[in-house]
């Protein structure tokens, strides 16, 4: 046997990373060109996205194959775990930047514009009459009239959904450890269904927000000053992560159906579970600071 599992497995070269780089080249250059108003940008983006998908299938495909073939020993498994953990840490910091923006705007920028601290003249000379409040689209009322998104309604429901999905995935986790396939399949399935439900409700909420006030909506848009900016950027990036997480859950679910995970060896499952918990925790932060307080 070439690769005894007592050795740390080092692949002999792989085409996928460079394929991924080429994909990102097309994707990013295409996106940038699109933003500059160039027509070919979109085509380039499509090509890039296509190559990226191809890369993801290829790369994950080979990793899954190697995993199933039992090439990875305990130490490799540990490397994957640590890698995933630190990846999630970096994601936390990405969200931290946006949370930071939210806190800064609420605790500092808006009070200053309203004349707090050493900013009497800011208010007096530049923004007379502006009073600090939250939510706010700023003294120039960028984006015009809008209504804030309340917490009790869809958001509360979504909180419940996401929290229960956290419970279901934990049950699935216990099931995988106990080797209980049936339970695993059921609860993992339930988890991604809840995930998709969340995404669907979030989309409904966005549509409601974007509709004009006259048409029963909130007129709340990305361009509704700092409130709209922070609201949509935070919930939007979160929604994106939920979507990715749900796709990952579905992939893992199919892998479960194929019998990929054993009680001892189920890194793929755990990685996704961790990710899901991370998404969950971020949502709690969002619910409290974006919707509620």
Partner 1 sequence: MSHTADAHHDHHAAPSGFKRWLFATNHKDIGTMYLVFALVMFFVGGTMAMIIRAELFQPGLQFVDPGFFNQMTTMHALMMIFGGVMPAFVGLANWMVPLMVGAPDMALPRMNNWSFWLLPVAFSLLLSTLFFAGGAPAGGWTMYPPLVLQTGNAFPFLIFSVHLMGMSSIMGAINIVVTIMNMRAPGMGLLKMPLFVWTWLITAYLLILAMPVLAGAVTMLLTDEYFGTSFFNAGGGGDPLMFQHVFWFFGHPEVYIMILPAFGIVSQIIPTFARKPLFGYESMVYATASIAFLSFIVWAHHMFTVGMPLSGQLFFMFSTMLIAVPTGVKVFNWMATMWRGSMTFETPMLFAVAFVFLFSIGGFSGLMLGITPADFQYHDTYFVVAHFHYVLVPGAIFGIMGGVYFWMPKWTGHMYNEKLAKIHFWLSAIFVNVTFFPQHFVGLAGMPRRIPDYATQFADFNMVSSIGAFVFGVSQLLFVYIIWSCVRGGEKATTAVWEGSHGLEWTVPSPAPHHTFEVAPEVP
Partner 2 sequence: MRERFRRIFQGAVYGPLFFLLGVSTAYADWELNMTRGVTPISHDTFDLHMIIFWVCVAIAVVVFGVIIYSLYAFRLSRGAQPDIAMVHSTKAEIIWTLIPIGILVAMAIPAAETLIKIEDTRAPDVTIKVTSYQWKWHYEYLGDANDPFVKSNFGFFSNISPESNRARQLGSGIDVFQVDNYLRDVDKSVVVPVNRKVRLLLTSNDVLHAWWVPELGGKRDTIPGFVNEMWFLAEEIGVYRGQCAELCGRDHGFMPIVVEVQSEADFAKWVGENGGAVGGGPAETPDVVEGTVAAAATGGGAGSAEPVDMELSFDDLMARGETAYLTNCSACHQLNGQGLAPAFPALAGGVITTGALDAHLDQVLNGKAGTAMAPFSYLSNTDIAAIVTYERNAWGNSTGDIIQPSDVQAAR
Residue numbers at the binding site for partner 2 (CB under 8 A): 112-113, 118-119, 121-122, 124-128
User: Least distance from C-beta 101 to partner 1, angstroms?
Assistant: 6
Q: What is the token pair recorded at 136? A: 């706010």
Q: Which residues contact 259 (CB under 8 A, 6 or more apart)?
A: 181
Binders in 54-83 for partner 1, by CB under 8 A: 59, 75, 78-80, 82-83
Question: For the purposes of burial, counting CB atoms within 10 Å of the CB of 133, is it exposed (0-12), middle (13-18) or buried (19 or more)?
Answer: exposed
User: Least distance from C-beta 186 to partner 1, angstroms?
Assistant: 33
Q: Is residue 86 involved in binding partner 1 (CB under 8 A)?
A: yes
Segment contacting partner 1 by CB under 8 A, of 85-93, 146-154, 172-180, 203-211: 85-93
Q: Is residue 18 involved in binding partner 1 (CB under 8 A)?
A: yes
Q: Is residue 21 involved in binding partner 1 (CB under 8 A)?
A: yes
Q: Is residue 136 involved in binding partner 1 (CB under 8 A)?
A: yes
Binding partner selected for residue 250 from partner 1, partner 2, none, CB under the kind-specific 5 to 8 Å limit: none
Q: What is the token pair recorded at 6? A: 């007592």
Instruction: For residues 240 and 46, give the distance between their C-alpha atoms in angstroms, rounded to a whole number.
Output: 19
Instruction: For residues 209 and 88, give the distance between their C-alpha atoms in angstroms, rounded to a whole number.
Output: 30
Count Cβ atoms below 10 Å from residue 261 Cβ, excluding itself.
23
User: Least distance from C-beta 229 to partner 2, angstroms?
Assistant: 15
Instruction: For residues 168 and 164, give the distance between their C-alpha atoms in angstroms, rounded to a whole number.
Output: 6
User: Least distance from C-beta 290 to partner 1, angstroms?
Assistant: 15
Nearest Cα to 217, choosing from 143, 147, 142? Answer: 147
User: Least distance from C-beta 98 to partner 2, angstroms?
Assistant: 21
Question: Closer to partner 2 at the Cβ: 32 or 92?
Answer: 32
Q: Binding residue for partner 1 (CB under 8 A) from 40, 46, 53, 140?
A: 140
Question: Closer to partner 2 at the Cβ: 113 or 184?
Answer: 113
90-126 burial by CB neighbour count: b if 16+ within 10 A, else e?
ebeeebeebbebbeebbeebbbbbbbeeebeebbeee
């Amino acid at each position: 046997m070439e690769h005894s599992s007592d050795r740390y497995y080092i692949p002999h070269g792989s085409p996928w990373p460079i394929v991924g780089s080429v994909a990102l080249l097309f994707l990013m250059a295409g996106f940038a060109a699109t933003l500059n108003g160039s027509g070919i940008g979109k085509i380039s983006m499509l090509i890039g996205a296509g190559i990226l998908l191809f890369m993801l299938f290829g790369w994950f495909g080979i990793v899954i194959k190697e995993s199933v073939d039992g090439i990875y020993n305990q130490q490799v498994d540990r490397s994957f775990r640590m890698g995933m953990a630190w990846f999630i840490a970096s994601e936390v910091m990405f969200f931290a930047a946006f949370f930071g923006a939210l806190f800064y705007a609420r605790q500092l920028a808006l009070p200053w514009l309203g004349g707090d601290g050493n900013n009497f003249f800011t208010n007096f000379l530049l923004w007379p009459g502006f009073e600090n409040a939250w939510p706010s689209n700023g003294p120039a009322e960028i984006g015009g009239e809008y209504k804030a998104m309340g917490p009790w309604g869809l958001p509360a429901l979504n909180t419940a959904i996401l929290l229960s999905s956290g419970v279901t995935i934990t049950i699935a986790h216990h099931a995988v450890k106990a080797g209980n396939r049936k339970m695993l399949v059921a609860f993992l399935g339930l988890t991604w269904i809840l995930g998709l439900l969340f995404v669907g409700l979030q989309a409904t909420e966005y549509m409601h927000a974007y509709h004009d006030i006259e048409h029963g909506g909130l007129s709340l848009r990305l361009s509704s000053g700092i409130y709209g900016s922070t609201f949509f950027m935070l919930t939007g990036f979160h929604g994106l992560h939920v979507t990715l997480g749900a796709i990952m859950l579905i992939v893992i679910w199919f892998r479960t159906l194929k019998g990929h995970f054993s009680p001892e060896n189920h890194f793929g499952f755990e990685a996704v579970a961790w990710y899901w918990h991370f998404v969950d925790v971020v949502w709690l932060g969002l619910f409290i600071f974006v919707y509620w307080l």
